[in-house]
Structure 1
Amino acid sequence: MRVLLAQNMFHLPSHGGANKSNRIMMEQLAARGHECHVVAPMSGALRATSTDDHVSYLKGLGAEVTSATPDALVYEYNGVRAHVVTRASLLAKRIGEVAAEVSPDWTLVPSDDPGLIVLGAALRAAPERVVYLAHTLQQLPFGPGAFYPSAAGTRMVKLAASVVAVSQAAGAYLQKWGDISSTLIYPHIYGDPAELPGGDLITMINPCGYKGLSVLLGLADARPALRFLAVPTWGTTADDLDELKRRPNIEIGQPSDDIDDVLSRARVLLMPSLWDETFGYACVEAMARGIPVIASAVGGLSEAKLGVPYSVPVRSIERYESVGQARPVPVVPEQDLGPWLNALDPVTGDEALHRHLARRSRKAALDFIGSLDAGALETHLTALRPNRRLAALAALAAARAKESQS
């Protein structure tokens, strides 16, 4: 098969759950002998970089850069050819160009696509061969948590030949709020994780309003003798960093494409998310390495906990404000720190309990990983049939447009 992943988020670095899982799924398809391409932005509002700096970064990872122009970079990484545009305004055009060149059997489009620019480009390029990946629920054009609700956008999603949900929570959301049936495929992104000896820091990845920064700050203030590690990624703002720097017991770390670089320093992973999580890849990754996780009882994050304590109730975000930011700004409800302290204190203070949770977490995570089918996406795409009716309608519309111009 020829498979194109068209996405409005970075290919590399891949510090977020959605783009990391997309990258690994494409690498797995490439390893199985399929021709795989990615079209993505090089930089944007959430991460600015120059072409020279990005080329240096890619070469440091071992990628082979085959072309560099003012408009795009083309490189090979782990068997996948990536086409990354230097400006967001070029993304839709590049998707069309690569699709015309490659003639993909399937074009995968993740839901992290404000304005549905990528989905629109993919439907124009190959209307009958689009597969929609439901990752971030807030980026779907329907439902109570939608950043950008749109009836027209919902109709576009329904044009896909298939919709893939990466968790049970995502599948339920699609059905309830979009009346969309989906296929459940848990991305097998975990490899064969080794148990880590563990560090001594209470660690949080991507501290920001969405992910429960207020809980982290409250815990750091309430327990000044404990040491915390905050690893900023896509959601962390300058104001968030200022708040983190004010706490002497919070160390600010660097994100890494290798999750072990972060988790090797963690005694506990804190995931106090306040929005509906589609899943919790980092939760499973930490548990598989024997690191206990204290997480919010929200959406797919409860699913990712695999029945292992602790899942903590929170007051979820219900409203967002737009003030010209790259993403809508959450209106964060005040949180009760009591349940968090009731979980954190024994996990950090009782060595026997920590060892028990570490063993239980690792077993649950390894059992879950062992149940996954690494070939599930390949099997799904192989069995899938194009939406021929949509292709015929697109061809008819194109013919009529051509007639009107003659």
Structure 2
Amino acid sequence: MVTSVEMPIQVYHSHFKTEAVSFPPTIAPTLLPESTDHPLRIFLIQSAHGLYASSGGYRANIALARAMRSQGHVIKMLASVYANEVATIPHTRTVEKFGHRVIPVYRFWYGQIDVVALDADQCREAFNRSQEVTEMMESWLENEKDVPLLTARQEFVAKEVASFHPSHVIMNDYCSLKAILEANIPPCTKIFIVHDAEDLPFGPFARGKPCLVLPYNGLRQTFIIRTTSDGFAIKTSYRRLQHVDGLWAVSNAIADYFANYGKLTCRILPNHPLIYGDDVHSLPFYQNFDKPYICAINPGYLKGFPIVKSIMERMPENQFLIVKSWNILWNPFVLEEFEKTENAILMDPVNDMESLWLQVKVLLVPSLWYEAFGLVVIEALLRGIPVLSSNAGGLIEAHLGVPYVIPTNTITGERETDQELVKRQGTDYKIPENSADPWVRILRCLMHDRELYERIRLQSRIAAVAYVKGLDPQVYEEYMKSLEREQRAWAGKDYLVG
């Protein structure tokens, strides 16, 4: 008989800071609007592939766009979509030449959002993650080498932005940052939103080689930025960040990363509440104690595959619903391991998450990655589904003080040197070892103790609804307009890049 145990949990009380952000503008002051009392024209650049991408950052950006559109603002979105996704949507199709490649371009309306999209399959092939493409991209980003393919994309982005005449451009990736800051586009407010530590050109999770150690608060910490072959630091990508008008972090975890490794101040704004639904009170409040499935979404190596695999081996009497996404789909080894595990049920990516939630008894989020937040945690808590998470990055915040956050050895940024392991893992980050013991102990209690389950279920719903209702939907518009006002105040002054 399994008895109840109360595990120690980490409680995180979220209190979003309100520091204003001001960076020197790079635009002609005479062309700035005289007032912010006008509909905003927001050009949003997405980096994920697919119109229905499961990426939390992509979904958060879509929610923001929908919300701004509902407030009377004009939105245009640059994305990459698959041909089959637009097949049933009225659209136009043209082609653009990117270096030696020809890539289809689709134009259509997604709800009330005007979309221009590159073909995702062609983009994946052209901008793949091979060593050759990665090295070319890094040289191009640092203005060391002209890469026709990337320069053509930059020119395409600039052309689309210029034709839209935006008041604001929102982006979250290096390439778009370069394109927007170096392009000849109409004056506008430029915002860099961070949904992932890898989107920043510094710190242990920056894409690039760990090469430079700088002092921070008297300590020596790894501070990764772009480098030449001899290890000399080139700070072009970092300096670009200093010259946007707003740096937006979606969590305290990302803001801490900004401060600790980039020594930059940002504005903390949580993801727009619309991402959780039009009315959280109307969301299902499931009674799933009698459901059979323990669920893990996208549990590749970065997202805790070793922990999930060990739990499954220790709990053969339970069924595990494994939802495929990018971290699994790109890794044949992980897929094969799950396929040959008897108590694993593999599920294709789902667009209708409600069809998943109604089957889930407990959600596992054993991520080893420095998560920006943890949208999936909030989504499960809102529906009364108990969640077991690691303490990686912003997952602590996302738990809202509700059990269970399990202390876990997370990825530090150290790189794996064993190439066989790198190939199997699908990543060159060193994957730390972890015990499945605390996970198994809590899971067994939740699977068998109805009273404990119901208590956590109720606590989850109450905390999550209170969190979402406490988010101010007006603050996003206010933030964008405040940046525009600051930009006007700075106009006419000359600034040198430090």
Q: TM-score range by the shorter chain?
A: 0.7 to 0.9
Distance 1:73 1:370, change over 3 A: same
Letter in 2 for 1:338: D
Task: Determine helix, strand or coil for the equivalent of 1:71.
Answer: strand
Match in the other structure for 2:298: 206
In 1, Cα distance between the equivalents of 2:344 and 2:250?
33
Among residues 368, 387, 396, which one is paired with 1:293 in the alignment? 387
Task: Determine helix, strand or coil for the equivalent of 2:389.
Answer: strand
Shift of 1:391: 9.1
Moved more, 13-22 or 78-87: 78-87
Q: Following superposition of structure 1 onto structure 2, how do residues 102-181 of structure 1 map, counting pairs within 5 Å?
A: 102-110=164-172, 113=173, 116-125=174-183, 126=185, 129-148=189-208, 149-150=224-225, 151-181=235-265
In 1, Cα distance between the equivalents of 2:439 and 2:207?
28
Among residues 68, 76, 91, which one is paired with 1:37 in the alignment? 76
Letter in 2 for 1:205: I
In 2, Cα distance between the equivalents of 1:10 and 1:376?
28
Match in the other structure for 1:18: 57
Among residues 260, 263, 284, which one is paired with 1:194 in the alignment? 284
Shift of 1:174: 0.9
In 2, Cα distance between the equivalents of 1:248 and 1:279?
32
Match in the other structure for 1:253: 347
Per-residue Cα deviation, 1:65-84 (whole angstroms, up to 9, x for no partner): 24454521111112111111
Gaps of 5+ in 2: 1-39, 96-102, 124-148, 209-223, 226-234
Distance 1:391 1:169, change over 3 A: farther
Shift of 1:156: 1.1
Task: Determine helix, strand or coil for the equivalent of 1:214.
Answer: helix
In 1, Cα distance between the equivalents of 2:491 and 2:318?
58
In 1, Cα distance between the equivalents of 2:440 and 2:300?
20
Shift of 1:330: 2.8
In 2, Cα distance between the equivalents of 1:356 and 1:25?
33
In 1, Cα distance between the equivalents of 2:487 and 2:182?
13
Asked whether the 8 Å contact 1:5–1:39 carries over to 2, the reply is yes
Residues 1:96 and 2:158 aligned together: yes
Counting matched residue pairs gives 379
Asked whether the 8 Å contact 1:166–1:185 carries over to 2, the reply is yes
Match in the other structure for 1:55: 86
Asked whether the 8 Å contact 2:166–2:188 carries over to 1, the reply is no
Per-residue Cα deviation, 1:288-325 (whole angstroms, up to 9, x for no partner): 00100000012100110000111111111122459798
Residues 1:8 and 2:47 aligned together: yes
Gaps of 5+ in 1: 43-48, 397-406
Largest Rg, 1 or 2 = 2
In 1, Cα distance between the equivalents of 2:446 and 2:357?
16
Asked whether the 8 Å contact 1:229–1:252 carries over to 2, the reply is yes
Task: Determine helix, strand or coil for the equivalent of 2:461.
Answer: helix
Letter in 1 for 2:154: A
In 2, Cα distance between the equivalents of 1:255 and 1:308?
27
Among residues 84, 94, 110, which one is paired with 2:117 in the alignment? 84
Match in the other structure for 1:346: 445
Match in the other structure for 1:46: none
In 2, Cα distance between the equivalents of 1:160 and 1:327?
33
In 2, Cα distance between the equivalents of 1:256 and 1:152?
39
Per-residue Cα deviation, 1:359-386 (whole angstroms, up to 9, x for no partner): 1001100000010112322121122126
In 1, Cα distance between the equivalents of 2:92 and 2:269?
33
TM-score of the two chains, using structure 2 as the length reference: 0.71
Moved more, 380-389 or 291-300: 380-389
Moved more, 335-344 or 69-78: 69-78
Moved more, 249-258 or 265-274: 249-258
Letter in 2 for 1:195: F
Shift of 1:18: 0.8
- Which structure has the highest helix share of the two? 1
Moved more, 87-96 or 27-36: 87-96
Identity of aligned residues (%): 27
Moved more, 2-11 or 316-325: 316-325
Asked whether the 8 Å contact 2:196–2:371 carries over to 1, the reply is yes
Among residues 306, 326, 331, which one is paired with 2:430 in the alignment? 331
Shift of 1:141: 0.8
Match in the other structure for 1:403: none
Match in the other structure for 1:356: 455
Shift of 1:231: 0.6
In 1, Cα distance between the equivalents of 2:116 and 2:155?
12
Task: Determine helix, strand or coil for the equivalent of 1:204.
Answer: strand
Shift of 1:91: 3.9
Shift of 1:34: 1.1
Among residues 266, 269, 277, which one is paired with 1:182 in the alignment? 266
In 2, Cα distance between the equivalents of 1:391 and 1:20?
37
Shift of 1:245: 0.6
Distance 1:294 1:384, change over 3 A: same
TM-score of the two chains, using structure 1 as the length reference: 0.87
